[in-house]
Amino acid sequence: MKFALIHRIPGRARFRAERAFGLRTASTLADGLYGIEGMEGVRVNPRVGSVLLLYSGEDVLEAACRLLNCADQLIGPEPERYVPAPVVPQPDDGRPSLFPFFRYLFLRPILPFAVNVVNAFRASAPYLKRCLDSLTHGRLDVDALDGTAIAISLLRRDFRTVGLLTLLLGFGDALERYTQKRSLENLASHLALQADKVWVRREGADMLIPFQDIDENDLVTVRDGTVIPVDGVVAEGVASVNESSLTGEALGVMRSAGSSVYAGTVVEAGEIFIRPTSIGRDTRMQQIVRFVENAEQLKAGIQARYEKMADRAVPFTFALAGLVFLATRNLTRAASVLLVDYSCALRLATPLAILSAMNEGVGRKVMVKGGRFLESLSRVDTVVFDKTGTLTQSRPEVAHVISVPLEQGGVDAVQGEEEVLRLAACLEEHFPHPVAKAVVHAAEERGLQHAEEHAEVEYVVAHGIASQWRGRRVLLGSRHYISQDEGVDVSHMEATISSLAAQGCSLLYLAVDGVLAGIIAMKDPIRPESAALIEHLRGMGVPHVMMLTGDDERTASAVAASLGITEYRSQVLPEDKARVVQELKDAGRTVLMLGDGINDSPALSCADVGVTLRDGSDLAREVADVVLMGGSLNELVTALELGRGTMRRIHGNFVATMGLNSLFLAGGLVGLLQPGLSAVLHNLTTLGVSLNAMRPTLGGR
């Protein structure tokens, strides 16, 4: 029997046999494949001859291929008739099959009694083993409950009930694995790179080869509209590459020989030949996917609390079952009590609700990096905004250029607006900061040539620039830097400064040899959605909205007033933002900080929830707990509603689980429910709250 590889993405591969095969073959293949070190999951479907593998490395896949190639020697001849195996939970990550129910309802009644007895003991063995393991380690958990209930049924020779219990428990285990795995797969699939075949240039000719055959010596060919399948360095060609899948920036960037490119990004125009540096699971895109898959480990506090609460209920259930047996001497009633526990639904529904919400968030351009951040989002009562690039569009424009006249103490070598702007552009052209770009752009618009005439530039982060120009010391920066740090007197221009600040302008000061030479007023257009967002937050019941800015008091006041913000801090240095956030937390507030710059990163880390935009700095996106991938502030509302809706869903599932299972427990106590019916109702409850957990949190919005 031969197997062919029909589909493959990094870490996941599907093979198809030339024909269907039997259960014994499926079991043998599954056991052999699971024995390969690094194999993370195996699903064998004998009816369609399919084998699905989840693996951790290329060497694991190669070992699996070798095993499948010699399947005939491994399996031997398939018998013509095969008695169905007993219902034993299989290590299968796939969709739960309904075939065991068919087997229980229609095949079990016609099998000899002795066969059913053997099958009952074989099906019970895994649960009894887990029960003994829990008891010998001093744990009274769900495994102990299930195993004890099955043991009681075996002692009573109620093999029909044993078969039903193992069937339901096995199906419940399979359902839990499947739903949780599917939720994680759906979440990761929004980012995962899908590539089966790629074009490569070998010996001067282009050829289409399977993705897994890419060699590090190949030149991968990527043309217009094609996804780049590997991380690598451009060896030849020029292309515009859209890197929004990684950076959130929608505009294409030019990539030519020597430039780095990343898997998952798209060539918009042009053609490039890439020398791979990382393939498959080592690419940056797949690192993102693995991060998302691991995000489930960031459990919400509510999840941990519910799990502990459910565990504490297990000894109570044991004690109650013991009292029932002492009072009634009826093992059936005691088993009915044991088969109702609270932890299954709570342990499954809570993480499913969180995973479902994270998945829905990605679909709505909101990436939440873990369950605990959803919980924090639900409790936010204070939202702190950085002004520049967050409430504003991060595209500052030069609104006014002021030259200080000689009669007011100006500088003779820098007279007139053009000379002030020319010198400022000469200094700023070395820096990618938005303000620097605005100054250079304004000079270019006026046709000003700003050739370098200065010495090496010293850049003081978040303060300004210092350099030597024609033998003079030149300073360009904020008032704090020019006036307080460098001692330049600006008081004689106070009337002009006040007028510009009242218009909401941010000011750059230019000084030469300690004398103020000019002022450049920058207008940072406010995002059109900012004011409506502030109002919406208050309507949602967020009582505190604060703005932080490095601008002076008058500018900060003007911007805050235009947005309807009553709490703000002006002239805040980067290192002070985290201190302000910590002060708010110390006052008992749950703080959400939204910023996009490198200097916002400490505050983002300090906040209960750090949020950044898609066009934020790499560092900000790294440390933020939530990324608004659509680039709109309105997505902040989506994030908050997602957090609140998820917690409401979890609380609702908790109430339903406790209420329904308590009713079933009472039914077992008074003898109204037999063990089999208790197990059915309990599993139906678990299924119901799980399906409820996976419903969209925000509905059709």
Q: What is the pLDDT of residue 191?
A: 44
- Over residues 142-161, the pLDDT tens digits come to 677 777 878 877 887 877 77
Q: Lowest mean pLDDT: which of 415-424, 529-538, 683-692?
A: 683-692
Contact partners, residue 608, CB within 8 Å, separation at least 6: 376, 379, 380, 585, 590, 591, 592
Residue 483: how many other CB atoms lie within 10 Å: 17
pLDDT tens digits for range 71-114:
766 555 543 333 333 333 334 445 555 566 566 666 767 778 88
**90-94, 136-140, 246-250, 331-335 — which one is most confidently predicted on average?**
136-140
Tokens 């495994």 appear where?
Answer: 143
Beta bridge partners of 518: 403, 510
The radius of gyration of the chain from alpha carbons, rounded to an integer in Å, stands at 33
Identify whether the C-beta of residue 631 lies closer than 8 Å to the C-beta of residue 614: yes
Residues of the chain with CATH 3.40.50.1000: 366-392+526-631
Query: Dihedral (C-alpha) 495, 499, 505, 509: value to the nearest 10 degrees?
Result: -20
Q: What is the per-residue pLDDT for 80?
A: 34
Give the mean model confidence (pLDDT) for residues 244-270. Answer: 69
pLDDT of residue 603: 84
What pLDDT digit, counting tens, does each position of 422-440 carry? Answer: 888 888 876 656 778 889 8
> Where does CATH 3.40.1110.10 sit in the chain?
397-523
Question: What local confidence, expressed as pLDDT, does residue 576 receive?
Answer: 83
CA torsion through residues 360, 365, 608, 286, sign: positive
**Could you say which architecture CATH assigns to the domain 197-282?**
Distorted Sandwich (2.70)
Residue 510 or 604, more confident: 510
Identify any residues that bridge with 240 across adjacent strands, giving them in sequence order: 254, 269
Instruction: Please name the CATH architecture into which domain 397-523 falls.
Output: 3-Layer(aba) Sandwich (3.40)
C-beta separation of 243 from 249 below 8 A = yes
Q: Which residue, chain included where needed, has tokens 């060919």?
A: 221
- Following DSSP, what letter does each residue of 21-78 receive, concatenated? --HHHHHHHHHHHHTSTTEEEEEEETTTTEEEEEESSHHHHHHHHHHHHTHHHHH-PP
pLDDT over 70 for what percent of the chain? Answer: 72
Answer whether 603's CB lies under 8 Å from 591's CB: no
Tell me the C-alpha distance between 249 and 245, whole Å: 8
Q: Determine the CATH number of domain 1-82.
A: 3.30.70.100
Residue 11: the pLDDT is 74
Q: Which long-range contacts (CB under 8 A, 24 or more apart) does 23-28 make?
A: 23/82, 23/84, 23/85, 24/75, 24/78, 24/79, 24/82, 25/1, 25/71, 25/75, 25/78, 27/85, 28/74, 28/75
pLDDT on residue 378: 92
What pLDDT is stored for residue 292 in this prediction?
A: 42
| Averaged pLDDT for residues 399-405 | 92
Tokens of 571: 């002239």
* Cα(22)–Cα(30) distance, integer angstroms: 12
What number is the average pLDDT over the span 229-235? 85
pLDDT value at 334 more than 50: yes
φ/ψ region of 226 (left if φ > 0, alpha if ψ in -120 to 50, else beta) reads: beta
Listed range (111-125, 301-315, 358-372, 401-415) with the worst mean pLDDT:
301-315
Q: What is the mean pLDDT of the chain?
A: 76
Q: Is the CB of residue 200 less than 8 Å from the CB of residue 218?
A: yes
Domain with CATH 2.70.150.10 in the chain: 197-282
Q: Answer with the residue of higher pLDDT: 419 or 335.
A: 419
Report the predicted TM-score, pTM, of the whole model to 2 decimal places. Answer: 0.55
pLDDT at 295: 42
pLDDT tens digits for range 572-592? 876 688 889 999 999 999 999
State which amino acid sits at residue 562. S
Are 274 and 233 in contact by the 8 Å Cβ rule? The answer is yes
For the question of residue 386 being annotated catalytic, the response is: yes
Least confident of 262-271, 650-659, 669-678: 669-678
- Given this model, what pLDDT does residue 640 score? 95
Tokens 């599954």 — which residue? 30
Q: Which of the residues 386, 524, 596, 625 is marked catalytic?
A: 386
Using the predicted structure, report yes or no on whether residue 44 has a pLDDT greater than 60. yes
Range from 74-83, 104-113, 340-349, 602-611 carrying the lowest mean pLDDT: 74-83
Where b means 16+ CB within 10 Å and e means fewer, 561-583 reads eebebeebbbbbebeebbebbee
Locate tokens 């990382």: which residue? 278
The residue ranges of DSSP E strands in 324-450, in sequence order, are 366-368, 382-386, 397-403
* Contacts of 102 by beta carbon, 8 Å cutoff, 6+ apart: none
CA distance 424 to 458: 14
User: Start-end ranges of CATH 3.30.70.100 in the chain?
Assistant: 1-82
Look at residue 49 and tell me whether its pLDDT is greater than 70.
yes
Q: Any idea what DSSP says for residue 484? A: I
CATH number belonging to the domain at 366-392+526-631, selected among 3.40.50.2300, 3.30.70.270, 3.30.160.270, 3.40.50.1000? 3.40.50.1000
